[in-house]
Structure 1
Amino acid sequence: MSILSIFRGQISPKRLSQFSCIINIKDGSRYMASYEKYAEHKPIEKIRNIGISAHIDSGKTTLTERILFYTGRISEMHEVRGKDNVGAVMDSMELERQRGITIQSAATYTIWKDHNINIIDTPGHVDFTVEVERALRVLDGAVLVLCAVGGVQSQTLTVNRQMKRYNVPCLAFINKLDRMGANPKKVLTQMRAKMGHNAAFIQLPIGSESKTTGIIDLVTQKAIYFDGNYGELIRYDEIPQDMRVESHDKRQELIEHLSNVDETIGELFLNESSLTEQDLKNAIRRSCMKRTFTPVLVGTALKNKGVQTLLDATLDYLPNPGEVKNYAIKQLKNGKEPEKIILDPTRNGEKDFLGLAFKLELGKFGQLTYFRCYQGMLKKNDSIYNTRNRKKVRIARLVRLHSNQMEDVDAVYAGDIFALFGVDCASGDTFINTQKFDISMESMHVADPVISMSITTKNTKDRDNFAKGIARFTKEDPTFRFYWDDDNKESIVSGMGELHLEIYAQRLEREYNCPVILGRPKVSFRETLVDSCEFDYLHKKQSGGAGQFGRVSGVMEPLPSNKNTKLEFVDETVGTNVPKQFVPGIEKGFYAMCEKGLLSGHRIAGIKFRLIDGAHHIVDSSEYAFQMAGQGAVRQVFEDGNWHILEPIMSVEVTAPEEFQGSLMGQITKRKGLITGTDGNEGWVTLYAEVPLHEMFGYSSELRSSTQGKGEFTMEYSRYSPCVPELQEKLVREYQESLGNDQQQKKKN
């Protein structure tokens, strides 16, 4: 096979995609690779599983595109918001290409310097945070991308918390050095102050902003330049004369930060011994894997600078799957505490297979389930068992993924990320190849939804498609939830933000031909008594034959505020005036009437029904008669008592930069909220407030627009509290109008 035949396009792209070793010959923008298949199994020491994570628009997908290009995985680079309507290879969904954002995490694998690198590109929007959560759960290391202008932003902090949760070592890559206002030193200061990282530069930029020409490697003490049309030709040179003092100072700073966390370097530093390049590399690797130090690299992915050195750092400093401790939980009998077992990924042929299903997706050929193999090996035609439901699955097809493309393999080994078809499971299920159902792995953390909206189909004939789409999306994404609100008789979807729900509404229309309407959901108000009220109600009905007779008397009183969502029924009768067999009927009548209040149509809550006395008839009394008496008693109290409407109050926590504190407080006050406290930390402020739920609709968009996308909030139910008189009057008026409309409609019919 001649090189000339490659350039003339005489080899099919499918054939070409099987090769990986880069030949240093180019034609325009294309690099040719040969002789080594991507899917070939590597020893565990030569495998890296990494994720690319960052705040929105920090350049994650562009960086991944450059990585795939330089490693020979793709032959052309495209921009995320490209004018050629192609888009980045990792943004395979049509919506992603149109909006220029990543919605779903995408997996791929490539080869760099004889190492197999599995990469997961994750979204940056807080709305799709579960995709980052899934990726970090199964990865051994990560690249935290920071914008040289924006620095540490809200989602950067979220990603940092997720990395800490799963104990994932990371490299920091300060991207977009070419942008006006780029300031990597400020970003490093923010990393130390806001994120608490023991971080230091291992690279420095040569030049600034648009005049950035290369980088200085502080470990090797060399200047690195990226020549050629696409930065493909790497040239090493001496450090420029005007940067030697700064390079020396920053190298000393690097050594000092390392000596604080690494004993070996600490001793050499104290003894004033000269440190070799290998000494530094070993120390960075040891401390990075322990998460006690974060090496900071610099570059600009869009301008093709610093990507190859980032790949080298990934191999040098991030762990292979054999160096990471992963645990399975073994359930012990006789009520003993579960035992943690360390998995061994090094002996593939000797250990049982154990894998975790971390993501579900509907592919062209049915449900596609993403797996990470933690131990052992799995071959085509093997059988595996789900430890949760004990179902057996036979593996007909094993694939590895390159974005939305699949490549068949015959076997997978510990450390590999792969996918299977036709596996009925949930996200977070553990699979093994023996019937030891007492072993499983911890699942991932799933955040609670922060926003809810009502959802209805535009056309009633689309209900079947709607049900299929909702069933699929709720199974794939644990942060997207759907339920029927029996209080308000409407379908509700909940998610991580308005964009999150909007994307799923668009996907229902595109993928299931089911246009839907998203609207503001109704709030679950409650009705309750203000003061205690006595009742004495007689239910008597005589219509020939057996009659109905039941008399109940007692007190209905409000429960304390900490119980104002509950209902209580207490039987305080003495003697036989109300036979005990009829008391359940009274209780049933009380609970039935509390389903719908007479003030606004919402449920009654926060009430205690004390049954004190009553009367029965030897012939006409029955459980049904006393049930009617119980209902009548509630109606009587409604007419005689003093009632008001309760509304749900939410505990809200808002985090944003300090300069926005005034506008945040104004927004909370405008929404009838009560600020309960504030907390400041290195330029960021956190507001704690209590706000009525019905005032929080639309707050997500308002917060993001008023804080340049840096603000975020969490909200959870706190309690029910009496609503203001104006709102109560409005709710009562609307309910009376709806009853009047219903009566008019009945008359017409």
Structure 2
Amino acid sequence: MDYNPEHIRNIGIAAHIDAGKTTTTERILYYVGKIHRIGEVDDGTAQMDWMAQEKERGITITAAATTIYWREYQVNIIDTPGHVDFTVEVERSLRALDGAVIVLCAVGGVEPQTETIWRQANKYNIPRIVFVNKMDRLGADFEQDLEMLKEKLSAKAVPINIPIGEEENFVGVVDLIAMKSLIWNEDEFGAKFDIAEIPDNMLELAHKMREELMEAIADYDDELMECLLNDENPALEVVKRAIRKGVIHHDFVPVLAGSALKNKGIQPLMDAIVDFLPSPDDLPPVVGTHPKTGQEIERRNDPNAPFSALAFKIAADPYVEKLAYLRIYSGTLKIGGTYLNPRTKKKERVQKIFRMHANKRDELSRAFAGDVVAVAGLKSVATGDTLCDQHKPIVFEKMEFPEPVIFVAVEPKSKADQEKLNRAILRLEEEDPTFKHRIDQETGQTIISGMGELHLEVLVERMVSEFGVQVNIGTPQVAYRETITKSASARYTLDKIVGGRRQYASVTVAVEPQEVGSGVVVVDGLPQDSEIPVELRKSAIRGIEATKESGTIAGYPLLDLKAEIVDADFDEEQSNEFAFEMSASQAFQQAIRQAEPVLLEPVMKIEVVVPEQNLGDVMGDLSARSAQIEGIDHRSDGEVINAIVPLAEMFGYTTKLRSMTQGRGFFTMQFSHYRRLPPQREEKLLLKVRGYGKG
């Protein structure tokens, strides 16, 4: 297909877990001829879930990319995970995309992960459409889902089709643009449908809903407005043009109904993707900065402009070792081309360019502005890096990722396994910015941390299956943090003989609390004309950066504070980088001790869905786990409890909930924030950390 950016759509498909997102993607692949038999998530044959761990669990873990062609359009689809432990996959995919399809379960409606995805899409200004899936399920309620979109997400959500029947009577949809009904055949996997007149019993509702649609989009198109004022029926193209404008301006969210499992409603969804979601040309130029001057620079979606791209995902690959997924914003990417990574200041050479289909690929000789491709040969590129023309450099805004909330010790079973473990950890850290590791200074153990039990479980399984590492695994532990409650400063002077030479450095560090979620900010506050050489100042910063990973109460990493070097003294003969690093580190630690440090614990937002008869037992159990109940809603699939609860209290909750509800209850959990640990639990934790108790 010839390069035509107007006919490219870069989209993500995202949803709460079990909303049927991967099944929806499978149907899309089937109808465009990418696959010849429909895969099902439940039997482990879904094309987009290609990792062994995904086939086993029936959930999507990594964002798999595939390109399809529908009508005359090229659609690059990223299928993203719904499980909260893998939210970072959604975040980095949305950063690179132009539009999104949000899949809702017709029974559950807007669920916690839907809210998270919606916030992420708002953050990156992603135009979106909503597909209400599972209309065939018991308890499906399209009207309720529309209300939830408006109330919970403040979305201007308006249907462009409505379901004909619900639950087992769901047979098709009424197209509110063409005012026709689409009825799917039960055979032929839904590849064909009949276009018919709207059933008599739905005419009144259809006209009412179409009127609402016209009111919602009238302001976007003068011709449409004129037609409506003159009581004329607007042409289909005029209506579609107005919807498209509303979507691209983030003012309007079209909603469609269907059932991916029953093969109904997929073709209208595909039409909506190409008709209403933006092309790269529809969006404003992307903005970055010059790596040296910090000056703001724009890049237009133009294949002849200087090259720029964002590496939004790094993935281990069995054939080429490592793949970098790139969203190209400007210029042309060529095999053999050399491009700059401004973060590392290194040049990277492109060996191969691929168009991906889950874990299969087609080789390309070049790729243009607006496209999404995978590239082999890049040595030191990490997730969130910019790749650009070395003579016209640009840096795009860095991606921010949440801190891990859970950790576990891993021990190799042999010396040979230690080397494999080190290699596996480094590779997996390149892929996943929320996976981190450290070496415990006291025990020498390797500690890995991530976003939840499932996250770490999957990563350990990958170490075994992909890297051949045999490891023993400890019990998962909560990733506590430390912070300060007041401002303080301290000076430390290093003046002693080391290795026969006198070492001298004197540094003053001031610390002050910052707002929740701001991390640790380290600042060189010395005057620009200070006598202290730049190398020594950088060493002092390094000393603080290294020390912030271990607080003064129990050795947990520090959070939410600012550390500033406010004064320093040096000796031209006897000061060196080592002395300044040590002095700044010690001054920082002393300042932290004086700033009344406290322990913080991760608090999770949970949604628990239970049968009505079990509500009392479940509420009592949550209360015993120090949960704060935020609300209880009635839904067609049960009573819904929303609460926040300390992560430390949630270990083993899956088993407990199953036993209280005879297997009918389920819950979702996602990180909310860090908060101060209550004194009683802080005392208990410190006894455990210092070896006096079992917790």
TM-score category, normalised to shorter length: 0.7 to 0.9
Distance 1:184 1:194 in 2: 15
Secondary structure, in 3 states, of the residue corresponding to 1:470? Answer: helix
Distance 1:365 1:386 in 2: 20
Q: Is the 8 A contact 1:42 1:115 kept in 2?
A: no
Report the AA paired with residue 70 of structure 2. Answer: W
Deviation at 1:177, TM superposition (A): 1.2
Q: Distance in 2 between matches of 1:339 and 1:286?
A: 32
Residue 443, structure 1, aligned to residue 390, structure 2: no
User: In structure 2, what is the equivalent of residue 15 of structure 1?
Assistant: none
1:245 partnered with 2:196: no
Offset, 1:209: 1.5
Q: Which moved more, 1:241-250 or 1:230-239?
A: 230-239
Please, which of 185, 188, 193 is the counterpart of residue 229 of structure 1?
188
Distance in 1, matches of 2:372 and 2:479, equals: 44
Contact 1:145–1:174 (8 Å) recurs in 2 = yes
| Residues 105 and 121 in structure 1, CA contact (< 8 A), matched pair in contact too | yes
Amino acid at match of 2:308: L
Name 2:240's counterpart in structure 1.
281
**Is 1:650 matched with 2:601?**
yes
Task: Indicate which of 192, 214, 217 corresponds to 1:258.
Answer: 217
- Is residue 99 from structure 1 mapped to residue 57 from structure 2 by the alignment? yes
Alignment map for 1:178-327 (pairs within 5 Å): 178-227=136-185, 228-259=187-218, 269=228, 274-327=233-286
Instruction: Compute the displacement of 1:666 (Å).
Output: 4.9
Return closer, same or farther for 1:701/1:195 CA change in 2, 3 Å cut-off: farther
**Do structure 1's residue 468 and structure 2's residue 423 form an aligned pair?**
yes
Paired with 2:57 and 2:551, the residues of 1 have a C-alpha distance of: 45
* 1:664–1:311 Cα change, 3 Å: same
- Conserved 8 A contact 1:449-1:495: yes
> Within 2, Cα distance between the matches of 1:658 and 1:57?
14
Match of 2:578? none
Supply the distance in 2 between the matched residues of 1:125 and 1:79 (Cα, whole angstroms): 18
Write out aligned runs for 1:302-701 (5 A).
Answer: 302-331=261-290, 338-345=294-301, 347-348=302-303, 350-363=304-317, 364-424=319-379, 425-437=381-393, 439-486=394-441, 490-516=445-471, 517-521=473-477, 648-650=599-601, 652=603, 654-656=605-607, 666=620, 670-671=624-625, 673=626, 697=651
Q: Aligned in 2, Cα 1:331/1:237: closer, same or farther, shift over 3 Å?
A: same
Residues 1:702 and 1:291: Cα distance change in structure 2 (over 3 Å): farther
1:52 and 2:17 matched = no
- Where do 1:667-746 residues align within 5 Å? 670-671=624-625, 673=626, 697=651, 708-716=666-674, 718=676, 721=679, 734=692
Note closer, same or farther for the CA distance 1:682–1:229 as it changes in structure 2 (3 Å cut): closer
- The DSSP-based 3-state class of the residue aligned with 2:438 is strand
Within 1, Cα distance between the matches of 2:323 and 2:410?
Answer: 27
Match of 1:122 in 2: 80
Residues 418 and 484 (structure 1), Cα distance of their counterparts in 2 relative to 1, 3 Å cut: same
Identity level (%)? 37
Q: Is the 8 A contact 1:215 1:225 kept in 2?
A: yes
Q: Which amino acid aligns with 2:382?
A: A
Distance 1:458 1:263, change over 3 A: farther
Give 1 or 2 for the bigger CA radius of gyration: 1
Q: What CA distance in whole angstroms lies between the structure 2 residues aligned with 1:219 and 1:726?
A: 63
Question: What amino acid sits opposite 2:248 in the alignment?
Answer: M
1:65 aligns with 2:26: yes
1:222 Cα shift?
A: 1.0
Write the distance in 1 (CA, Å) between the matches of 2:335 and 2:672: 45
Q: Give 3-state SS (helix, strand or coil) of 1:445's partner.
A: coil
Distance 1:328 1:321 in 2: 14
For 1:196 and 1:681, the matched residues in 2 are separated by 18
1:298 maps to amino acid = A
| C-alpha distance in structure 2 between counterparts of 1:449 and 1:596, whole Å | 16
**Please, what TM-score do these two structures have when normalized by structure 1?**
0.70
Q: Distance in 2 between matches of 1:474 and 1:732?
A: 30
Q: Aligned letter for 1:43?
A: N
Query: Displacement, 1:725?
Result: 7.2
State the 1:682 CA deviation. 11
- Equivalent pair of 2:354/2:373 in contact (CA under 8 Å): yes
3-state DSSP of counterpart to 1:120 = strand
CA distance in 2, matches of 1:219, 1:508: 51
Superposed CA offset, 1:143-165 (max 9, x none): 10011111111111111111111
Unaligned runs of 5+ in 2: 483-511, 515-549, 559-596
Alpha-carbon distance between aligned partners in 2 of 1:191 and 1:473, rounded to the nearest angstrom: 36
Cα distance, 1:670 vs structure 2: 3.0
Q: Alignment partner of 1:66: what SS?
A: helix
Aligned CA distance change for structure 1 residues 491 and 247 (closer, same or farther; 3 Å): same
Change (3 A) 1:732 1:443: closer
Q: Distance in 1 between matches of 2:431 and 2:386?
A: 16
Deviation, 1:479, is: 0.7
| Stretch deviating more after TM superposition (517-526 or 293-302) | 517-526
User: What is the distance in 1 between the residues matched to 2:688 and 2:14?
Assistant: 47
Q: For residue 721 of structure 1, report the CA deviation from its aligned partner.
A: 4.3
Match of 1:140 in 2: 98
Cα shift at 1:244: 0.9
Distance 2:335 2:99 in 1: 28
Q: Give the structure 2 partner of residue 155 of structure 1.
A: 113
Query: What do the CA deviations read for 1:666-724 (whole angstroms, capped 9, x no partner)?
Result: 556534x596x9589999876567x6x86565568878998722443424253684668
Distance 2:481 2:268 in 1: 58
Superposed CA offset, 1:471-523 (max 9, x none): 11111100111112336654322211111111111112222222331314488
Q: CA deviation at 1:256?
A: 2.8
- Asked if 2 retains the 8 angstrom alpha-carbon contact of 1:497 and 1:700, the reply is no
| Structure 1 contact 47–115 (Cα < 8 Å) conserved | yes
Which residue of structure 1 lines up, in the alignment, with residue 542 of structure 2? none
Give structure 1 stretches of 5+ with no counterpart: 1-39, 527-559, 563-594, 606-645, 738-749
Counterpart contact for 2:406–2:477, Cα < 8 Å? no
Per-residue deviation at 1:343? 1.9
Question: Which residue number in structure 2 is paired with residue 13 of structure 1?
Answer: none
**Aligned residue identity for 2:74:** N
Secondary structure class of the residue paired with 1:448 = coil
Q: Judge conservation of contact 2:310–2:326 (CA < 8 Å) in 1.
A: yes
How far off is 1:302 after superposition? 1.3
| 1:161-220 per-position Cα deviation (integer Å, ceiling 9, x unaligned) | 111111101110011111122111111111111111111111011222222222110001
State the shift of 1:381 in Å.
2.1
Q: Does the 8 Å contact 1:261/1:292 carry over to 2? A: no
Amino acid at match of 2:188: N
1:268 Cα deviation from its structure 2 partner: 5.7
Q: Match for 1:163: what amino acid?
A: A
Aligned mates of 1:601, 1:206 — CA distance in 2: 61
State the match for 2:533 in structure 1. none
Q: Distance in 2 between matches of 1:187 and 1:158?
A: 17
The Cα of 1:73 is off from its aligned counterpart by 1.6
CA-CA distance at 1:662 after TM superposition: 7.5
For 2:117 and 2:682, the matched residues in 1 are separated by 40
* In structure 1, distance between residues paired with 2:617 and 2:215: 42
AA aligned to 1:648 is L
- Number of paired residues? 578
